[in-house]
Amino acid sequence: MALVIALALMTGLQQELRDRIVGAAAHVYVWNVKDGGFEDYQAEAKKFTEVPRVLSAAPSILGKALATTQYGEAFITVKGIDPELEQHVTDVVDSVNSGSLFDLEDVNGSGLGGLVIGQGVSSQLGVFVGDEVTLVTQYGTLSPMGMMPRPHRLRVVGIFSLGLYEYDNSYGFVTLDVAKRLLNKDRVELMELRIDNIYASRETAQAVTDILGSEYLTEDWSQMNQALFSALWLEKMAISITIGLIVMVAALNIVASLILLVMEKSKDIAILKTIGAKPLSIRKIFMLQGSIIGIIGTTLGAAGGYALAVIFDHYRVISLPVEIYQISYVPFTVNIMDLVLVIGSALTICFVATLYPSRQASHLDPVEALRYQ
């Protein structure tokens, strides 16, 4: 039961982080190192979809900015996007819970650029849909005093919540044209790809370079988050080994119980042998008894672990600090293969625990057992 719950916890944590990361971001990132960017991103996006496994492509421009209002300020990552293409690559469109991502291109003729910010950024700035935000970047106008930052007024047209602290508290989306003005860019610097199988992201990233040319530099989501998932895998293995050792220690109870039973039933074993019972038959009796104990215990433990994992997941009993773990609670996900492995290992340990006591029983000398009876 303990092992099932522990593995469900780590599996749920891994899957939740993976799903949110690949939902908030692309699967493969592509840079054009030869031209310094993509001038005709529409044509480039179409070209990338011809690579096997690539479903869609979207352009983006990234940069940093200081967002200020009369209620607060926050450093954010500004991401310039094409809303029509972005909806096919990330889950940002579906995560907008106030306003719309498509309103970026239409700000009611006010002359202001549109801005979609994360829920955390909205709280820091104290703004809602329809409010104005001033963005200041390192790029500005040259003056006798040097480079003077030029503030840009934008109107909030949407607030999103992807469920990841990193995005909800530090990202803002604008159109590509607005991003070019804010960040002093003349072309798209990055193309993001969505593929049909996230576990084939490395092969797809390599295929982009092999098919389209070496001027394209690629990186996939697993490489960008390798440290995080390696740490989670290591934690899962450490917990599994630790609790597995506890299971092995618990199996010693079966050994002790059967040894005591052999000592208690030595007279009965001796009588069985004197009337013709073979050592193999005696051994099978104690192996069967130990196996039955293991089967009953393993069944109850697996069922209890599965039930508790479902309850813990439903009621979200374990909360997490989102600043560290990116998610607000620990989901419990029982993986079928993990469950089968736990049950198989437990039954194997229990069976091995019966070998020594059953051997001792089969080698019992009837004469010695009945000498003083």
pLDDT tens figures, 5-45: 988 988 888 888 888 888 888 999 999 988 889 989 999 99
Percentage of the chain beyond pLDDT 70 is 94
Query: What is the sign of the dihedral through the CA atoms of 31, 35, 41 and 42?
Result: negative
- 24, amino acid identity: A
Q: How many residues does the chain have?
A: 373
Question: What is the predicted pLDDT for the residue at 21?
Answer: 83
- 327, amino acid identity: I
- 68, amino acid identity: T
**C-alpha angle 316/321/327, rounded to 5°?**
60
CB proximity list for 298: less than 8 A, separation 6 or greater: 343, 346, 347, 350
The pLDDT mean for the chain works out to 88
Give dist(CA 313, CA 22) in Å, integer: 22
Give dist(CA 83, CA 23) in Å, integer: 15
Question: What is the predicted pLDDT for the residue at 107?
Answer: 58
Give dist(CA 98, CA 121) in Å, integer: 14
Tokens found for residue 171: 């990202």
More confident residue, 45 or 143: 45
Q: State the average pLDDT over residues 47-56.
A: 94
Torsion angle of the four alpha carbons 11, 15, 16, 20, in this order, in degrees rounded to the nearest 10? 160
| Residue 74 pLDDT level (bands cut at 50, 70, 90) | very high
Hey, which bits of 119-275 come out as E strands?
132-136, 140-143, 146-149, 152-160, 171-175, 190-195, 216-220
Long-range pairs for 269-275 at CB < 8 Å and ≥24 separation? 269/361, 269/364, 269/366, 269/369, 270/364, 270/365, 270/366, 270/367, 270/369, 270/370, 271/366, 271/370, 273/364, 273/366, 274/366, 274/370
Inter-CA distances, 95 with 39, 80, 85, 105, Å = 29, 17, 16, 18
